[in-house]
Amino acid sequence: MDDNEDYQALFFTECGELLGDLHEQIDQLVDGQGDSETVNAAFRAVHSVKGGAAAFGFDALIAFAHVFETVMDRIRSGKMALSSEVGPVLVRAGDALEVLVEQARDGGGPADAMVERVRFELEELAGLRSAANEGEAQTPPAAAAPAAPEEMLFEETREVALRFAPGPDFLNRGHDPLRVIRAARDMDLIGVEPEGDVAPIESFDPWTCPFAWTLRFDTTLPQSKLLAFFDLYDDTCEITVLSDPDPEPSAQPPEGASPRPNDPGPAQAAAATPAESGEPKGEVASGTRTSVSKTLRVELMRIDRLVNLVGEIVITQAVLAQKLTETDAATSLEIGHSVEAMTRQTRELQESVMAIRAQPVKSVFSRMPRVVRDLADTLKKEARMVVSGEHTEVDTTVIEELAEPLTHMLRNSMDHGLEGPEERAAAGKPRIGTIRLSAEHRGERVIITIEDDGRGINRARVQEKAIEAGLIGPDDQLPPEEIDQLIFHPGFSTAAEVSSVSGRGVGMDVVKKKIQSLGGRCLLTSTPGKGTKFTITLPLTLAVLDGMTICVGDERFILPLSSVVEALRLENCVIERLPDNSRVLARRGEYLRLMSLRSALGVEGVAAPEEMAIVVDTETNGHIALLVDELIGQRQVVLKSLEANFRRVDGVSGATILGDGRVALILDVPSLVALGASQHFKSQETFH
């Protein structure tokens, strides 16, 4: 990959961040929650995308961003009100800008009809069409729009000379004059003449460029096109037109453009400079310089390798600790202190690596208000979204996979959950429905909830559809919670007809499979007439966890420490047997259900009774006591995917390597409890 490709890759990475911020800022403006700084931030995002595109000659992206920027400038200068008509155009413009960035990244493509329609709308808002297209039919173009005046070419080439003089902070901002000159070759550059001298060593400043260059072009491009190339550097360098036989084609420039010899021309004239708009150059509108935290871009593959190395260190440390138990006491005492120090340092290293991979869920949450707004328009419903906990951090691998299940759940809440305005009013509810999206840390897991205040699940309809599909029998009497879970069955849908939003029965099945693939769980609760709540439980990291090692027969298993409440010896406990042959354990005035891990995991050949009970928190079914043969101790383990290396096993979330080289399965407590309950239910059916 050459330097230009490196810079392009960096540009597209920055575009992703800028577009994410832009969508969030536009959402705030449309919802009436933004202020002047939000408008300024949106303007700067569009301006930065346009400036970066100019450095690489992405003409379609430059032209669209220029018009978009003009509209944002009119809003921030007070020339245009952010009305209910303007807001949706800005939302569509953000989508169109994203399409153009993707096309530029993929090497171009045919003109997108949606992009052209949005550009038409922006030009109307910017006042460009009325002047430049007087007499034309005011209808959005169905295909590619004609070239804007500044894109028109001369019939013959001419020689244009520009003086490129970097400012005192040009290098300090990360720019490279050599890269600029190399990139200018694509603009028909034919000659470069340097000027300036290097200062004596005692006064030499390595951060100041002492040179300027005269760039000569033999081109058919208009002057404005050449000047737009330097748009990215407009506040860090001086560009002067030294000579141009014919500055512009005969066509008139758009309204608002007034090129001057040293001016960037139409590509920048429509967007007011910071000084013209009252915004201090290089500062935010408030006049105070913002504090920007320093960041380092690192390829995820390198971080993954570092995570794997940390995992190997953890395993090696476990092996060393195991060997120490086999040595004499005098030797192990001295080495033991070193192992303790190594354990502490390894833990700190692991936490640091995990912190590098951790990212706030905001990057996913910020897209969801737009999903709700689009669905509200499609379904003719009124809805608002309340987001909280968006700064909750989780492993970046988890974040990348969250968008799809969250979108499906929002579609379900909007289509099946929330009522229409009239129905809500008749039920005594506000006409505008509310969907709440939140995230929080709980132990070593992150809990994400989506809750609506709609009609709740129509259990009679769900049961009817389940009987039609053969999922349950006509005489089956299921509790409400089990009826609710039927919507996660593949192909299940209660929609009367298939629409663009739902009805094919694939959404909630996708949600369940995706969450399970991330080592998580999805719980659904609903109250008729009040609403529905989805609760997603996900691991904070997919690499390392703290666990409790237990022994069942000759096998060893790991229980996540975050699920363990306490350990009890059965000889000190009172155990009662219920009529259905199940057992409960009496503990401090309450009774806990007992579940044998031998039976649940199918461990055979053990005659002696279990001696220990581990009380665990199932998150959904309260506390349950798991019967085990022996409690070995606590340790940090490296989580490896069992499904990727073998196959999915019910009740198991992964595997790890112990200090003695044996493989131990990591138990998934909630699914393990569900598995035990299912086995008990089947045994009761057989008994009866």
Q: Report the pLDDT averaged over residues 238-264.
A: 59
CA distance 313 to 294: 29
* Residue indicated by tokens 């001057």: 260
Q: Take residue 200 and report the two structure tokens written for it.
A: 């004596």
CA distance 487 to 483: 8
Band of residue 485 on the pLDDT scale cut at 50, 70, 90? confident
CA distance 684 to 76: 71
Q: Report the pLDDT averaged over residues 509-520.
A: 78
Q: What pLDDT does residue 425 have?
A: 92
Which segments of 106-244 does DSSP mark as H helices, in order? 113-126, 128-132, 177-183, 223-228
Terminus-to-terminus CA distance in the chain, angstroms? 71
CA distances from residue 46 to 11, 42, 302, 578, 606 in whole angstroms, order as listed: 13, 6, 31, 68, 69
* Residue indicated by tokens 């003695």: 660
Q: Which of 312, 309, 332, 308 is nearest to 321 (CA)?
A: 332
- How many other C-beta atoms can be found within 10 angstroms of the C-beta atom of residue 377? 10
pLDDT tens per residue across span 134-171: 444 444 444 444 344 444 566 678 899 999 999 888 88
Query: What is the set of domains in the chain, with CATH numbers?
Result: 3-146 (1.20.120.160), 151-269 (3.30.70), 301-359 (1.10.287), 361-539 (3.30.565.10), 544-687 (2.30.30.40)
| Of the ranges 119-133, 288-302, 384-398, 532-546, the best mean pLDDT one | 384-398
CA distance 681 to 482: 14
Compute the residue count for the chain: 688
Cβ atoms of residues 650 and 670 within 8 Å: no
Q: In what order do the strands lie in the sheet with 189-195?
A: 189-195, 212-219, 158-166, 237-243
Please state, for a pLDDT cut of 90, what percent of the chain lies above it: 8
Q: What pLDDT does residue 678 have?
A: 55
Q: What's the pTM value of the predicted model, to 2 decimals?
A: 0.59
Q: Report the pLDDT averaged over residues 426-444.
A: 89
Residue 269, amino acid: A
Q: Is the pLDDT of residue 668 over 70?
A: yes
Residue 589, amino acid: G
Cβ atoms of residues 417 and 455 within 8 Å: yes
CA distance 651 to 657: 18
